[in-house]
């Protein structure tokens, strides 16, 4: 299963970086392949994405969440299996390091080819840059502060 790890530093406090990441329904504003997310409950989100011209839907389950530290999830629907974690590290009162780690199982020829040439890593890097621009221009909000244990 391929693994992608990308990191970016954002010029906002850790609570703002984390808070923006917990507003899942805003992801289409900065994640290029995400068409729509509906938050079903505190630990469940329904996603619509467009990958290589194909629309897919899946349900993600948050497996672990700790305010200002991490959000982890898993998707097990047979077509789009993946899991990941985003961690938040305070560098200073006004700067945060955000690290995304995603483990995914490519399906179909195009995804397998893309994985082989590293397209997934480039897409995550671009999306993190979009997130940086978004969070640095967004109003500060602490977001959801609930805690989910693995």
Q: Which residue has the higher pLDDT, 35 or 3?
A: 35
* DSSP structural state of residue 148: B
Does a structural domain hold residue 133? Answer: yes
70-74 long-range contacts (CB < 8 A, ≥24 apart) are: 71/18, 71/21, 71/22, 72/150, 73/45
Decide if 46 is inside a domain: no
CATH of the domain at 116: 3.30.530.20
CA angle, residues 63, 69, 74, in degrees to nearest 5: 20
| Domain of 17, in residue numbers | 3-22+63-137
pLDDT-based confidence at 145, cuts 50/70/90? low
Any domain includes 34? no
- pTM of the prediction? 0.83
Q: Phi and psi dihedrals of 68, rounded to 5?
A: 65, 10
Convert the pLDDT of each residue in 40-81 to its tens digit. 999 999 999 887 788 889 999 999 999 999 999 999 875 667
Query: Is residue 44 included in any domain, yes or no?
Result: no
Residues 14-49 have pLDDT tens digits of 999 999 999 999 999 999 889 999 999 999 999 998
Q: Is residue 128 part of a domain?
A: yes
124, part of any domain: yes
Q: Considering its fold, how many domains does the chain have in total? A: 1
For residue 129, what pLDDT band results from cuts at 50, 70 and 90? Answer: very high
In terms of Cα–Cα distance, which of 14, 2, 46, 42 is closest to 28?
Answer: 46
Rounded Cα distance between 67 and 145, Å, is 5
Residue 145 lies in a domain: no
Is 118 among the domain residues? Answer: yes
């Amino acid at each position: 299963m391929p693994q992608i790890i990308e990191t970016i530093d954002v010029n906002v406090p850790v609570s703002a970086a984390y808070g923006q990441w917990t507003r899942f329904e805003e992801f289409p504003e900065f994640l290029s392949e995400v068409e729509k997310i509906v938050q079903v409950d505190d630990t469940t989100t329904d996603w619509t994405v467009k990958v290589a011209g194909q629309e897919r839907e899946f349900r993600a389950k948050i497996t672990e969440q700790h305010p200002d530290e991490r959000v982890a999830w898993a998707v097990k629907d047979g077509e789009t299996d993946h899991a990941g974690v985003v961690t938040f590290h305070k560098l200073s009162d006004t700067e945060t390091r955000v690290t995304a780690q995603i483990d995914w199982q490519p399906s179909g020829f195009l995804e397998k080819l893309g994985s082989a040439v590293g397209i997934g890593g480039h897409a995550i890097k671009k999306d993190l840059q979009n997130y940086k621009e978004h969070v640095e221009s967004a109003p500060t909000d602490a977001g959801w502060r609930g805690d989910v244990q693995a």
